[in-house]
Amino acid sequence: MTGGRLHPFTLLAIAAALPALAWILPAPDGPAATLVVALVLTLTPGASPALTGIASSPGWRRGLVVFRTALLTAAPFWLFLLLLHDVPTTIAIGLRITTMVASFVWLVATLEPARLVEAMIAAGWSASIAYLLAATLSAVPVLKARARRIVEAQRCRGLSPRGGIAARLRALRALALPLVLSALHEVDERALALETRGLVPGIRRTPLAPPRDPAVEQAARWVLLLACLAALARRFIVPRFI
Amino acid sequence: MKSLTLDHVSFWYPATASPALRDVSLEVVQGEVVALVGALGAGASTLLLVAADLAPRVIGGRLAGTVARRDRSGIVLPTPWTQASGMAFTVRDEVAFGPANLGWPAHEIARQVDRALERLELVPLASRDPATLSGGELQRVIIAAILAMDPGLVVLDEPAAELDAESARTLWRLIRLLAKEGKAVLLATSALDALPEVADRVVWLENGAVRAVGTPDLLADVAVCDAGLGTSVATVWRAGGLREPYPLTVADAVQRWR
Amino acid sequence: MALSPVLRLDGVSFSYGAVPALAAVSFAIAPGERVALVGRNGAGKSTLVRLVAGLERPNHGAVWVGDWDTRDCAPEQLARRIGSMFQHADQQLFASTVRDDVSFGPRALGLGEREVERRTDHALEDLDLTSHAAHHPYDLPPAFRKLAALAGALALEPTLLVLDEPTVGLDRALRARVTRALRERSAAGVALLVITHDLTFAAETLERVLVLDRGRLACDERSAGLVGDATRLEPLGLVPPPVAALSAALDLPGRPVRGAEVARELARVARGRLAP
């Protein structure tokens, strides 16, 4: 299955439905099921290598990188939860958060910003809004690439990313500041740059390759929406009548 | 036919008291290449932003004087990597990004993209991911991307900065070709030695004001050489204490020597 | 008496996955030597620099920094001996002031505060950046940010400086500052390995030239001999800098390539012609 070939709206629908269901369905079975689905998705190939940064780590199979990223990103939340709550609550919330994280990571890895822009424009959205959404999605791999460059530059100045907790925290702090600063600085430059590439309000962008949207996928999106609504009804409305 | 006219233009960046441009008057005609030279901070980049209608419209600030534009302009910034769309997976898509934003029909886009790729010798790279390109390759892609939008006024800020000798040579030749095709070209560059072959006129900017305008022979002028803006040949000729007029290029020098 | 080399590459080959980048490259750099690394875009220059800095390991052969094999060292360890400045280093300035950024390196090496201050001051003075020391790096124009990044490498006071295009974006005045700073360090025994497109800079400041061509070391010789030779440079995608080309075209005695020497020869020959 190639997630990259599904219509972008379908991908968005799945990435929204899974976390929604995770929170609606009763714990721990509901969230566990959605988490399993989300994690299985992260293992499916089909994303462009550039999105996941695999181009620079050729040894890994694509899906494992996305899977691993999802788990590593969610791990700190479990730590905090354990400190604050008892075990059943931790599991319930943890599974839900992990589903959210895994869905988002999968989405970023699978959804090509260019295809999203094309899909939105074909559906009538304005180019500026489409680019805004796409830029948000592509922010993650861009930040990742930049973070890698900053870490390399810092290592070449003697900062070790390894070592004990104190050293790692110091390294993290040294990375955070320039990452945020340079990202903000670039937002400025980007606004100017996109102007130079013809982003003029009022002109309809020519779709270069609008993604196919087969009826099956459209139907599937409706089914997902209905499933979420049904689960919502079952959880909150039906019990009143019982 | 005049493509761009600046009439007594002064420009202040936002929240800045002293102007970056002082009373600049300049004309760029279709079919000509005008080069801006000056020390860093002399105002060349600012002037290019004004020419491309980005200052003050997009970056803010205050402008005095008038700017008259006849053609649509396209600008290549000195930091071309910031102009990448970030959502193209191939070089071809990246170059097509601009024309698509302008709403042109698909066949026209294809034509412009193919032409731009060929001119910048990017055809072998057409299917590459822009994120994997070197600085020089990306600079050529952005130049192609701007040219694909078919601007009447082409504005270039240090377009050869990241390029190696061969690519730079191709670029200078392309700029002359663009002028021949009727485009107006305004460029800022520190590659002074290339200008005798490329520029029709040279404008010397100092502290935001026009200090002198002339043909590329200006780059052999005594004052220009003393300011560190003469061609290498002219500068070394002057340093050797030889008489004026100083030769601009090696070929000129060989002729003088005989 | 041969001084032991600061940097030595022994038959180094490297590929990015299936794409070969360097093939069997061997050379050595002695203390105080000033070496230019030139070649077309894509010839492998940046790759070589990454190998020297320890960011990649060679697939074959070895890179020796002094007596350390880079395969056994992490980049942060090699920072004790190598100061590197990569392209667009100004995008990687991290601190809130120029001074803090420049002192980052010496501090990370674990030096005492007084030594950190000394090295920072020295680096800032070398590049005339002291007046900008309290500014935020992103408040400076790009050219000065580049100088700040270079100061950061100088502050490490390494035995080898590895610089990727240090003069791009600088005007003549700032280039002269960089040249002066590098010459001073080299006179004190620091070796230089500089990637540059600017053959004028290479001819003026760097005495030896390594030319990479499609991943292989095509030339390794004194810059004075190579830089004016158009027939040898052309197949490598390079062009003689104008002053060297002038020297060759006028057939000046000794074929000098550096500006001051060419000017002197021009003056001499011109005087000789005028004499009755």
State ipTM: 0.88
Task: Read off the pLDDT of each residue in B72-89 and give the average, rounded to a whole number.
Answer: 86
- Has residue C130 been placed in a domain? no
pLDDT at A182 over 80: no
| Per-residue pLDDT tens digits for C116-126 | 999 999 999 99
Is C137 within a domain? no
Binding-site residues on chain A for chain C (CB distance < 8 A):
58, 149-150, 152-162, 174, 177-178, 181-182, 185
Tell me: the pLDDT tens digits for C211-261? Answer: 999 999 999 999 999 999 999 999 999 999 999 999 999 999 999 999 999
A18-41: average pLDDT: 86
- 3-class DSSP state for residue B201? strand
For residue B54, which residues of chain A lie inside 8 Å, CB to CB?
192, 195-196
**C contacts of B237 (beta carbons < 8 Å):** 263, 266
Mean pLDDT calculated for residue range A20-47: 81
Q: Do C246 and B40 touch (CB under 8 A)?
A: no
Nearest to A159 among C80, C108, C153 (CB): C108
Phi, psi of A230 (to 5 degrees): -60, -45
Confidence (pLDDT) at A241 = 62
3-state secondary structure of C8: strand
pLDDT at B57 exceeding the cut of 60: yes
Residue C201 lies in a domain: yes
pLDDT tens profile A119-147: 888 888 887 788 878 877 777 777 888 88
Long-range Cβ pairs for the range C177-185 (8 Å, 24+): C177/C127, C177/C128, C177/C147, C178/C127, C178/C147, C178/C150, C179/C204, C179/C205, C180/C126, C181/C126, C181/C127, C181/C150, C181/C154, C182/C34, C184/C126, C185/C126, C185/C154, C185/C161
In this predicted structure, the answer to whether residue A5 has a pLDDT above a threshold of 70 is yes
Is residue C149 situated within a structural domain?
A: no
* Cα B193–Cα B39–Cα C155 angle in degrees, nearest 5: 100
The answer for B 230-249 residues in CB contact with C (under 8 A) is: 231-233, 235-237, 239-242, 249
User: Is B89 close to A192, i.e. CB distance below 8 A?
Assistant: no
CA–CA dist A165, B116 (Å, integer) = 52
My answer on whether C3 and C44 are in the same domain is yes
The CA distance from C260 to C265, in Å, is: 9
C126 in any annotated domain: no
Residues of chain C found within 8 Å of residue A177, distances taken between Cβ atoms: 94-96
Cα A106 to its chain centre, rounded Å, is 6
Any domain includes C98? no
Residue C166 belongs to domain spanning: 1-31+38-81+160-170+193-238
* C138 near B CB under 8 A: no
Distance of CA A31 to the CA centre of its chain: 18
Q: Which of A176-180, B130-134, B160-164, C194-198 has the lowest mean pLDDT?
A: A176-180
What SS3 class is residue B182? Answer: coil
Under an 8 A CB cutoff, do C92 and A153 touch? yes
Contact C120, C106 (CB under 8 A): yes
Lowest mean pLDDT among A36-50, B179-193, C89-103: A36-50
Chain A interface with B: residues with Cβ < 8 Å:
48, 50, 55, 112-114, 117, 127, 131, 134-135, 138, 142, 145, 186, 189-200, 203-208
How many pairs of residues across A and C have Cβ atoms under 8 Å apart?
64
Mean pLDDT of chain A: 80
Q: Can you tell me the distance from the alpha carbon of B232 to that of A209, in angstroms, rounded to the nearest whole number?
A: 50
> What pLDDT, on a 0 to 100 scale, did the predictor assign at position A150?
84
pLDDT attached to residue A1: 34
Do C13 and C51 reside in the same domain of the chain? yes
- According to the model, what pLDDT value does residue A60 have? 45
CB contact under 8 A, C246 and B169: no
**Do both C200 and C273 map to the same domain?**
no
- What would the pLDDT profile of B1-30 be if each residue is shown by its tens digit? 999 999 999 999 999 999 999 999 999 999
| Interatomic CA distance for residues A16 and C43, integer angstroms | 46
Q: What is the DSSP letter of B241?
A: T
Contact A157 C105 (CB under 8 A): yes
Winning range, highest mean pLDDT, from A105-119, B159-173, C83-97: B159-173
Residue C13, strand partner residues: C60
Number of domains observed in the structure of chain C: 2
Is residue B39 within 8 angstroms of chain C, CB to CB?
yes
Secondary structure letter of residue C58 according to DSSP: -
Query: Is the Cβ–Cβ distance between B69 and B153 less than 8 Å?
Result: yes
The answer to whether the beta carbons of residues A142 and C78 sit under 8 Å apart is: no
Contacts of A167 in chain C (CB under 8 A): none
In this structure, are C72 and C166 located in the same domain? yes
| 3-class secondary structure, C217 | strand
pTM of the model: 0.86
Full strand arrangement of the beta sheet holding B21-29: B21-29, B2-12, B62-69
One domain, residues C18 and C70: yes
pLDDT in tens, A184-213: 777 777 778 888 998 877 777 888 888 888
State both tokens at C205: 């400041």
Q: What is the pLDDT of residues B110-157, one digit of tens each?
A: 999 999 999 999 999 999 988 888 888 999 999 999 999 999 999 999
Same domain? For C54 and C165 the reply is yes
The three state secondary structure string of B11-79 is: EECCCCCCCCEEEEEEEEECCCEEEEECCCCCCHHHHHHHHCCCCCCCCCCEEEEEEEECCCEEEECCC
Q: Are residues C253 and C234 in the same domain?
A: no
For residue B180, the number of C-alpha atoms closer than 13 Å in the C-beta half-sphere is 7
pLDDT of residue C112: 93
Structural tokens at position B65: 């004087």
Residue A187 and residue A212 in contact, taking contact as beta carbons nearer than 8 Å: no
Tell me what the pLDDT averaged over chain C comes to: 92
pLDDT digits (tens, 9 = 90+) for C166-199: 999 898 889 999 999 999 999 999 999 999 999 9
B158 touches chain C (CB under 8 A): yes
CA distance C230 to chain A (A): 37
Q: How far apart are CA B182 and CA B14, in angstroms?
A: 35
Predicted confidence at residue C75, as pLDDT, reads 92
Highest mean pLDDT among A36-50, A66-80, B244-258: B244-258
Q: pLDDT class for A52, splitting at 50, 70, 90?
A: very low
Q: Quick one: which of A110, A124, A122, A131 has its CA closest to A212?
A: A122
Cβ-defined contact of A55 to B99 (cutoff 8 Å): no
Is B85's CB within 8 Å of A194's CB? yes
pLDDT at residue A57 tops 50: no
- How far apart, in whole angstroms, are the C-alpha atoms of residue A63 and residue A40? 9
Query: Count of residues for chain B?
Result: 258
Six token digits for residue A141: 């791999």
In B, minimum Cα distance to A111 occurs at: B87
- Residues in contact with A57: Cβ distance below 8 Å, sequence separation at least 6, in sequence order: A65
In a mutagenesis test of the B interface, which of C178, C266, C273, C274 is the best target, namely the one with the most B β-carbons within 10 Å?
C266
Q: Give the pLDDT confidence score for residue C166 in this predicted structure.
A: 94
Tell me what pLDDT residue A51 has: 47
Q: For residue B186, list its beta bridge partners.
A: B34, B155
| Nearest-Cα residue of chain C relative to residue B241 | C267
Q: How far is B250 from A217, CA to CA, in rounded Å?
A: 68
C165 and C62 share a domain? yes
Show the beta-strand stretches assigned E in chain C: 7-16, 19-29, 34-38, 60-65, 68-69, 82-85, 160-164, 191-195, 208-213, 216-222
Same domain, C220 and C247: no
Interface test with C, best of A148, A156, A182 (most C CBs within 10 A): A156
